[in-house]
A and B are shown apart, each in its own frame.
Chain A
Amino acid sequence: MRREKGEAASTAATGITVARRDRGPRISPSVLLTSHLSLLTFSLLTFCCPPLSAQTPADVTAERDAYARWLATARTSPLAAIAVAPIGNGLRLGPSDADIPLDGLAEHRITERGGRATLEGAGATRPLSRGRSVSVGPYALVLGGVPGRTVVTVFGRIHPKPAPEYFPYDPSLAVSSALEPPRQAGIVRVLALDGTEVEAAEAGTVTVDLGGTTTRLTVRRLPGDADESDLEIYFRDATSGHGSYPAGRFVSLTPLRDGRYLVDFNRARNPFCAYSSAYPCPAPWSGNGLPVAVRGGERYGEREVRGEK
């Protein structure tokens, strides 16, 4: 269960195959046959079945299973999202001409004054609190965003979709790095996974070596509950829009016991805008583009492009 993998695996096999092919014309038929057989074996190993070393670790599988279950059942699953809207000068919910029309819900109104949001409707007034879901008829509301720019997310029934798909597990995409100080420490407002604005702390940068390239990526601490928060990287790579989500993906850092951090791109997750158009998509973080294809983590493939997501 421990997470102490992470050193790069070799991709030397490709080089060997190319070398043999180059020598092809001068080799006797029997050798050629052997060569072709080994090529075939190699191709089968590479393209048919994931090699043994690439078996998905149990903790990653457990994480993915829990996430799939959460998407399929949670009250605040993105598959249940209907709308994400700023409260601004007030929001009307319910009737067909409301800001957010909701079938079967009598008129309700959300207002915010002096940092205090309330929900009025059906003869009652209820306070709303940040990050906590409140039921209104068959719907649930959650407030998010930063004070003064509060947004409400409305959830209805879950629209089931197939579980997220992932690239085959690739151990070479789990790399470790020291966390270097940011150029300027401080707080920045960014969109979190769920498209709501949060105050994130500049946590620094990590340097990752992938596919023969070295990239420095910005890391930010996104707030959670109590003292829990995640160090996150929002990144794009050569697969963005070509097998992975076009806007980019989030990956969390796991602290290692030597003070360094594990960045396992096999754990990269799509922002919620990948599941529902109700969510705004976080803008790419400046400088966080990887020049290589990160074939690890959550995919966004043909199925979604065809509108079957």
Chain B
Amino acid sequence: MSEALHRIRSGIPTAGAVVLATSLVLPPSPASLPPLHFSRLTSVAGSWRAVLDLAGAPLPFSITIEGPAGGWRGLLCNGERCEPVSGVRVTGDSVVLEIADYAASIGAERRGDSLVGVYRNEGNRGPRVIPFRAARGRWEPGPGPAALVGRWDATFYQDWRTSPRVLELRNGASGLEGTIVSNSGDYGYFSGRATQDSFALAHFDGSFVYLLTGRLDGDTLRGVLHAGLRTQTPWTAVRSTGAPFLTPPTAVTRGDTTAPFRFAFPDLDGTLVSNTDGRFHHKVVLVDVFGTWCPTCHDAAPTLVRLWRKYHSRGLEIVGLAFEVTGDSAVDNRQVRRYRKKFGIPFPLLLAGINDTDVAAAALPQLDGFVAFPTTVFLGRDGRVRRVHAGFYGPATGAQHGRLVAEFEGEIRQLLSEQ
């Protein structure tokens, strides 16, 4: 093993690692980078253990860069889950990973077997810049002890007020993983590692920058949710008793049940599609209020496709109402077409507006208290609202996801059975 590699493997324990009382092997801080002549590999290609240096602790994730034969490609990974970046530019020892969906990028210089740079995207009140560094290799799996695994009822504290969350922690292929669930949905898949009674789980998709750190203190879990460079929200949690802790997703948004649920928006070919069309007559209809920009909607799409395939012949219709980013119909149309292709969606997707909660609420006046993307509206064969489900528990929520899919299916069967 070369000296350079040895230095990286042994790592520099930063204050963050100390706080976590873990033995995270981190990429070296810039001051400790090996000099250039230690370089063994002469390209940025390969697997990299990366961190974003948040003010409170390092956020771990992985990147893989492939090329240059056939062109440069890059993957951004949280645990085993990877998404391709939209572009990779390499100039000598400089590399830029473009994440076009979020107008974001990671720019770094290779110094020996390390990368040092910044993650950035443009804000309206200034740039969002977070230090980035990486070392060659992969994160070792860091499974958590049984004492951490399970469902926790958490109380988040900010500005002397509290709000409820549920933490789902379990062990996956790459170590401890899970998610945070709020009244309006989950925060997506978190992946990381645990050491003894402490853990650090990250969710970084190129736009959302979340790090959940915690430690078991007797029967109580205590920790911090780090969002972006500087926002920190402390929390405490106790093991869930099984009693409901959050507002049930079906009690968040109410539907007008006095009249059929009305919608009328253009599909991707410009044809107006409305609830009075023959295809919806006397059918059970799921109205999926979604956006292609919304990660939880991506989580929900495969479930909806599966349900449509299973129950369409028995009278189920699904229609997606897209609330998109730009309001420019050509741009939004392209985005929604890409989404339709990605998930092989066989049901109509309509361009309903832009992704502003107020705009969506105004477009769907029969929903009272619309707060979440996605929201799934279940219509009975008479076209009236029977259930409104705010948010969606994605696969990251483990058992909750399974239960939710079973609930959706049960509700559909019930509605189909009503003639």
Contacts and interface: CB of A to CB of B under 8 A. Distances in A.
Is B one of A's binding partners? yes
Interface of A: 1-4, 58-59, 62-63, 66-67, 69-70, 74-76, 114-116, 126-134, 142, 144, 147, 181-182, 185, 192-194, 201-204, 221, 224-231, 252-255, 257, 269
Given A1-B30, A59-B131, 8 more contacts: A62-B118, A69-B127, A70-B126, A134-B326, A144-B124, A224-B123, A227-B225, A227-B227
Contacts of B228: 224, 227-228
Given A66-B127, A230-B230, A230-B231, A127 B328 contact: no
Interface residues of B, number: 45
In order of increasing CB-CB distance, the 10 nearest A-B pairs are A228-B228, A129-B356, A227-B227, A70-B127, A201-B159, A115-B358, A66-B129, A116-B362, A126-B327, A255-B232
Nearest to A182: B160
Contacts of B227: 226-228
Contacts of B56: 255, 257
Contacts of A253: 230
B126 A67 contact: yes
Given A185-B159, A257-B56, A226 B131 contact: no
Interface in B232-250: 232-233
Given A74-B127, A221-B158, A227 B358 contact: no
Nearest to B325: A132
B27 to A, nearest CB: 12
B122 interface: yes
Contacts of B55: 3, 254-255
Given A126-B327, A129-B354, A201-B159, A4 B15 contact: yes
Nearest to A225: B123
A268 to B, nearest CB: 13
Contacts of A182: 160
Interface in B186-244: 208-210, 225, 227-228, 230-233
B335 interface: no
Contacts of A2: 14-15, 53
Nearest to B30: A1
B131 A255 contact: no
B124 A194 contact: yes
Given A75-B122, A227-B233, A257-B15, A203 B159 contact: yes
B161 interface: yes
B179 to A, nearest CB: 14
Interface of B: 14-16, 19, 29-30, 53, 55-56, 118, 120, 122-127, 129, 131, 158-161, 208-210, 225, 227-228, 230-233, 325-328, 353-356, 358-359, 361-362
Contacts of B356: 127, 129-130
Contacts of B232: 255
Given A3-B55, A66-B118, A221-B159, A116 B127 contact: no
A184 B358 CA distance: 29
Given A116-B362, A185-B159, A228-B228, A127 B354 contact: yes
Contacts of A228: 209, 227-228, 230-231
Contacts of B160: 181-182, 185, 204
B327 A1 contact: no
A144 B125 CA distance: 11
Contacts of B209: 228
22 contacts: A2-B14, A59-B131, A67-B127, A74-B122, A76-B122, A116-B358, A116-B359, A126-B327, A127-B353, A132-B325, A182-B160, A185-B161, A192-B125, A193-B125, A194-B125, A201-B158, A221-B158, A224-B228, A224-B231, A227-B225, A228-B209, A228-B231
A28 B295 CA distance: 80
A80 to B, nearest CB: 12
Contact of B230 (A129, A131, A193, A252): A252
Nearest to B182: A227
Nearest to B120: A66
Contacts of A132: 325, 354
Nearest to A69: B127
Nearest to B53: A1
Contacts of A269: 126
Contacts of A126: 327-328
